[in-house]
Structures are given as C-alpha cells and as structure tokens.
Amino acid sequence: MQVVKQEVIKAGACIAFFVDIMTSKPDRNAPKIARILRESTAKVIVVMASGADFLIVLEELLRQNVTGKVWVGSEAWASSTFLSVKRFQDVLVGSVGFSIHADQISGFAEYFESLNPSSDLHDPFIKEFWEQAFSCKWLDQDELVNNASLQPCTGKEKLGNVMLKLDFRLSLNVYTAVYAFAWALQNLHDCQLGKGQFEHESCTNISFFQPWQLLYYVKHVNFKTKDGNHIFFDAKGNPPPIYDIINWRLGCSESCPVGFAKLTLPGKPICCFQCVRCPQGQISNQTDAVMCQQCSWDTWSSFQQDKCIPKAIDFLSYVELLGLSLAAISISSSVVPLCIVSIFMCHKTTPVVRANNYSLSCLLLLSLFLCFLCSLGFIGYPQSEMCLLRQVAFGMVFSLCISSVLAKTITVVIAFTAIQPGSRLKRWTSVKVSYCVVVFCMCIQLSVCMVWFSFSPPFPEHDIITQPGVIIINCNEGSPTAFWCMLGFLGILASISFIVAFLARRLPDSFNEAKFITFSMLAFLTVWISFIPAYFSARGKYTVAMEIFAILSSTWAMVACIFMPKCYIILLRPDMNSREHLMKSGRGQ
C-alpha cells in the first residue's frame, strides 16, 4: 500500500485520507469509514482489500447512503460477484478496478459444453458441479416424492448459458501454471551432462530430484501457450504484470425499447446483448424483452412492432375500382344479348333470322346473357355458397353456350347436306336434334360438376402466405383436377365447334354462318389458352379478375362474331334481308 501512496503523490495527486479496514468484531471500524467517506469531498476512493473485508464496509455505506463516489478496486475484489448485486448499484455504479487477466483457453469452451453426468460417470465432481450450476439436486424416486419442493437435476440442462456467468480467470491461471510445471519438468528431463545448471554443470535425475531443483527450472521457463501468450518469470519470480481494467456500470448494453428483443452476444456476460428489431409478424410490448412474441394468424405487427393489429382483408370487392368496373361491364354487356333477342323477335319472319335457326339462336343468346351475368358471382366476399354457385354457374352456363354453338354448326352442315337428292339426313334436320346435342353436352358437364362437388367441392380459403400482413380471401377450387376437367370439357366442345365450322366455312353464306362461328371459336380458344399462364402467375383478387376478364372477353367474342353481322343486315342493310336477295345470292354461288 505504501508503494501505491508514493506513486500517487509522484503523479501529482492529493490523498485526502488513508484508513485501514478493521474486520475483526471488537475492532470493526466500518461505521467510522462510512462517516469519513460521507463527510469527505474526495470523489475517487482506492480500496485495496479482500472482497470479504470490503463487503462489510459496503453494507455500512449502503446503510448510511454514501453515493456519488468513484471506486478503484484491487484485483482482490474488482471482479467479485457482489458488485452485480442490485442493491449495491447506487453505491458502486461506475466502479473501476484491476483484475487478473482473462483470456480464452483454446478448446476449453467446447470441452466445458460437452460435460454431462451421464457421459462422465468416472468424474467424482461432475454431479456436485451440476447441482451448483443449475440449483438442482440429484434425487432418486423416493427422495423426489418426499421433497417435492426441490428442483431435480435431469442431465438435460445446457451448460452454454452457465458458461457466460462463470469467471474463468482462475482457470486460466491454473492452466498456465500446469503448463509452466510441464515445461520445467521437460527442461529438467532434457538436461545434458556438462551443460547442467547446478554445481559442476551437473543435472538431476527426473525420477529423483529435490524441490528446489524443480523450482529453479520453473523460474526459468520461457514459452508460449497455444493461444500465443508469452510466459516467463522475472528475477523475483513474478510473471508479466498483465491486468484487465474493469469498469462496472449498470448494464453492458443500453436498454432495448419496445419493438426490439435482446440477443445475447457469444462469449459475453448475460448483461451484454444486442437489441434486434422483431421480425415482421412478431412484437415486443415491453422494454428489454427477452424474445419477441408471435402475432396470431389473423393479426400482424404494427409499424412500431409493439402491438398486434388485425390484418387487412383483401378480396375483389364491389366498392373498389377494379371490382366496380368489372361489375359495370358485366351488367351493361348483359343488355346486348337481350337487345339482340328483341331484334330477332321483331324480325323473326325475315330470311336472315329464319335461315339461322331462330329458336336455337334465342337459346344461344339466353346463354350469352347468363355468361355475362355469371361473372358477378366472382365479385364480393367469398362465402361457402358463393364459391359453389359461381363455379357451377360458370361451368353449366358456358356448356350451354358452347353446346348451342356446336348444335348450330351441326345443324348448318346437316341442313346443307340434306338438300342433296336422295340424302338420308333430312330426318336429322329437326330442331329436336339440336336440342339433343345441347342436352347431351350439358349432362356431361353436369356429371363432372356433381362428381367434383361430391368429393372435393370449392370452399373459402384464407391465404396468409402470399402477402404478409394481409389475409387474402378467395375460393379454393377444392380439386384442381376437377376444375381443369370442367375447363377442358369446354375446350373440347369449342375445338369440335371450331373444326366443324372451319370445314363448313365454304358453304353458301346465304344459308349458314359457319365462317362466323369459326372466328368466334378461334377467339374463344385464344382467350382461354391465354388465361392458363395468367391464372398461375396472378395472386389473390387478381386471379379472380383474370377469370372474369376471360369470361367477358370470350362471351363478347361470340356475340360480336356470330350475331353482329346479322344485326348489321337486319338494321342497316334491309335490302339484303329479302327472299329475292337470298335467291339471287344462292344462284350466284
């Protein structure tokens, strides 16, 4: 202590007082020391004492509420565990001390974490250490029943977190000391006669040597450990004076605010951590949260990530621009087939209407009217009934539409062929044949839908994966195979209609509409083939919007290609809608 005083004065500092700590009960002077410290204006207090002695003074300082001092401690107490006791924080905050150097021992962390009572059966100390480390007891079944309040050891506890709480300064010294003795023994063993360090340059026998002889070699070791630390002793037998300067503070890291969680830093004390923001979908609503809490499936983290808020619900709604626009197009488009029906009814005796199968044309226009309206079933909140209705309506209405087109095409071909002399197809020109084609095709599609809805019907689905923070509500087809079978059947009908109409495109225009059906089916197939990649690439409500767009586009293709030319003749070219023009056109062809 005298050396310290001399060095302090030499450095130009002032010593306000010097007092010895008496710890024996008769001479204990802790209250006096606390009073001196409280009354003194000195701010920096150097304490050279053992941890046990200083703890007695510390208790008295706490009782007398002595704060605002900066403590400088010796290695005897600067790293003591009582410095981290919460009730001493106001007294000791900001303390500085010298401590024996601590360093990592190569391979020791891996060895320490691998320790386990079940695998180290021959280690007599492992169970005792385990009980101290985890505050538990090794109990047999009877002891466990009789001592229900005791925490039993299981052997499954992890030493990783315990290692952060342990001070391995002493372990490093023991490790270095063992190596120093090992090097001393090695040098003693390697001594050569005539080059020894003792009288007459003699050596000693490794099996029979005096303690002072080994001590000589210990004092003269000079080596580096595996971690690169240089170990040697000076003339007085002291190792290199390497110390760690320790600064005690209230925390190694700043407090983590809400929305963040503590992440322990590897190899650091448990109070040293990093604040990391909670991932999306997780929150922390308190400071210094150990971990983030996962929001429930229907909620999402707020912007500050301090609370869970209900997720936004997304579906194709009538109140948004996209849904409202599609609904308006659907309703306004549905008026067109009705207008065409009224035109046909007013002119049903004219040659153009009669030549194109009035009753079947009206059935086709009715189905086109329903095709436009069925797209409305895809807009709005998807409920169980709506998911079923919109798919069956779509499948059946389009089957009615395409089968009517197919029936018209077949009727045109049969009608033209039946006028040949001696043709046996005259009996197939009846309108009943057309209706039979329509009914047959409808029955096949109905069977597909019934099997589909019996085994795996469509149902509402809450998609929380596609767009984080949003619940996308859509209709799951249930069975993708059945859904594509339904579309595939429509594709087959359209393909057959296209092929038949294409082969019959050169029939006289005055008696058939084959070329217009060819164009309509070509447009229909083009739209739905383009729909397939768009369906798989779109997500959420845009998948539904793509299907509505395909429905409206393909329906408009049939209206424009099949019926617009007839309306043009009826309304704008009445001269072409006469028996004389038809007969003249027929003779010309």
SS3 letters for 538-565?
A: CCCHHHHHHHHHHHHHHHHHHHHHHHHH
Two structure tokens written together for 147: 């001592």
Collapsing DSSP to helix, strand or coil, 94 comes out as coil
The predicted model gives 401-410 an average pLDDT of 86
Two structure tokens written together for 514: 């084959």
The set of residues, in sequence order, having a beta carbon less than 8 Å from that of 295 and lying 6+ positions away, is 281, 282, 283, 301, 308
Going from the C-alpha of 94 to that of each of 41, 529, 586, the distances in angstroms are 18, 75, 111
Which of 100, 132, 165 corresponds to the end of one domain?
100
The set of residues, in sequence order, having a beta carbon less than 8 Å from that of 107 and lying 6+ positions away, is none
Angle at 156 between CA 154 and CA 160, to 5 degrees: 130
| From 25-34, 185-194, 269-278, 402-411, the region with the lowest mean pLDDT | 25-34
H helices within 429-560, ranges in order? Answer: 431-455, 480-503, 514-537, 541-558
Inside any domain, residue 514: yes
pLDDT value of residue 263: 83
**DSSP state, 256?**
P
Instruction: Find the length of the chain.
Output: 589
The predicted model gives 266-295 an average pLDDT of 84
Position 420 pLDDT exceeds 80: no
Q: Are residues 302 and 329 in the same domain?
A: no
Q: Look at residues 111, 237, 227 and name the one whose alpha carbon lies nearest to residue 176.
A: 227
Identify the top-confidence range among 103-117, 121-135, 552-566.
Answer: 552-566
Q: Given its phi and psi angles, is residue 112 left (phi above 0), alpha (psi -120 to 50 degrees) or beta?
A: alpha
Q: Are residues 392 and 278 in the same domain?
A: no
pLDDT value of residue 331: 94
Q: Look at residues 396, 332, 371 and name the one whose alpha carbon lies nearest to residue 550.
A: 371
Q: Are residues 370 and 301 in the same domain?
A: no
d(CA 182, CA 206) in angstroms, rounded, equals 12
CB atoms within 10 A of CB 2: 6
The CATH number of residue 365's host domain is 1.20.1070.10
Half-sphere exposure of 76 (CA within 13 A, CB side): 11
Q: Are residues 346 and 376 in the same domain?
A: yes
Identify the top-confidence range among 100-114, 340-354, 407-421, 542-556.
Answer: 542-556
pLDDT value of residue 392: 87
Which of 100, 133, 162 corresponds to the end of one domain?
100
Inside any domain, residue 538: yes
pLDDT value of residue 511: 45
The predicted model gives 280-294 an average pLDDT of 88
The set of residues, in sequence order, having a beta carbon less than 8 Å from that of 535 and lying 6+ positions away, is 543, 546, 547
d(CA 383, CA 327) in angstroms, rounded, equals 18
Inside any domain, residue 382: yes
Q: Are residues 293 and 407 in the same domain?
A: no
Going from the C-alpha of 207 to that of each of 24, 194, 204, 214, the distances in angstroms are 47, 19, 9, 12
The set of residues, in sequence order, having a beta carbon less than 8 Å from that of 241 and lying 6+ positions away, is none
Angle at 226 between CA 221 and CA 231, to 5 degrees: 25
What is the number of domains present in the chain?
3
Q: Are residues 515 and 460 in the same domain?
A: yes
Q: Are residues 367 and 345 in the same domain?
A: yes
pLDDT-derived band at 411 (thresholds 50, 70, 90) equals confident
How many whole angstroms from its chain centre is CA 54? Answer: 52
pTM more than 0.95? no
Q: Are residues 387 and 302 in the same domain?
A: no
Q: Calculate the dihedral angle through the C-alpha atoms of 57, 61, 67, 68, rounding to the nearest 10 degrees.
A: -30
Position 561 pLDDT exceeds 50: yes
Looking at the DSSP bridge assignments, the partners of residue 474 are 461
Residue in the block written with tokens 């294409």: 502
Question: What would the DSSP string read from start to end of 127-173?
Answer: HHHHHHHHT-B---HHHHHH-TTS-B--S---SHHHHHH---HHHHH
pLDDT, tens digit, for every residue of 137-179? 877 655 554 555 567 888 887 776 665 556 667 778 888 889 9
Q: Are 438 and 397 in contact (CB under 8 A)?
A: no
pLDDT, tens digit, for every residue of 179-238? 999 998 888 888 877 777 777 677 887 788 888 888 888 888 888 888 778 888 888 888
d(CA 312, CA 255) in angstroms, rounded, equals 33
The predicted model gives 263-280 an average pLDDT of 79
**CB-based burial label for 537 (10 Å; 0-12, 13-18, 19+):** exposed
pLDDT, tens digit, for every residue of 325-383? 999 999 999 999 999 999 989 888 888 877 777 888 899 999 999 999 999 989 999 88
Inside any domain, residue 184: no
Q: Are residues 467 and 396 in the same domain?
A: yes
Position 299 pLDDT exceeds 80: yes
Collapsing DSSP to helix, strand or coil, 352 comes out as helix
Position 427 pLDDT exceeds 70: no
| From 227-231, 415-419, 498-502, 571-575, the region with the lowest mean pLDDT | 415-419
Q: In which domain, by residue range, is 556 found?
A: 321-588
pLDDT, tens digit, for every residue of 93-123? 778 888 877 777 777 777 777 888 877 777 7
Q: Look at residues 373, 102, 70 and name the one whose alpha carbon lies nearest to residue 229.
A: 102
Looking at the DSSP bridge assignments, the partners of residue 301 are 308
Q: Are 558 and 520 in contact (CB under 8 A)?
A: yes
pLDDT value of residue 360: 85
Q: Are residues 401 and 335 in the same domain?
A: yes
Q: Are residues 10 and 63 in the same domain?
A: yes
Q: Are residues 327 and 300 in the same domain?
A: no
Looking at the DSSP bridge assignments, the partners of residue 70 are 44
Going from the C-alpha of 133 to that of each of 126, 162, 492, the distances in angstroms are 10, 7, 75
| From 140-149, 394-403, 456-465, 513-522, the region with the lowest mean pLDDT | 140-149
d(CA 426, CA 434) in angstroms, rounded, equals 14
Higher pLDDT among residues 137 and 417, named by residue: 137
Inside any domain, residue 547: yes
Inside any domain, residue 155: no
Which of 281, 310, 339 corresponds to the end of one domain?
310
pLDDT value of residue 260: 92
d(CA 408, CA 416) in angstroms, rounded, equals 12
Buried b (16+ CB within 10 A) or exposed e, 547-575: bbbbbbbbbbbbbebbbebbbebbeeeee
Inside any domain, residue 274: yes
d(CA 37, CA 33) in angstroms, rounded, equals 6
Two structure tokens written together for 440: 């047959």
Inside any domain, residue 171: no
The CATH number of residue 35's host domain is 3.40.50.2300
Average pLDDT, the chain: 82
**DSSP state, 247?**
E
d(CA 123, CA 133) in angstroms, rounded, equals 16
How many whole angstroms from its chain centre is CA 252? Answer: 31
The predicted model gives 302-316 an average pLDDT of 90
Going from the C-alpha of 20 to that of each of 1, 47, 54, 72, 118, the distances in angstroms are 10, 10, 11, 16, 51
pLDDT value of residue 415: 65
Angle at 36 between CA 35 and CA 41, to 5 degrees: 120
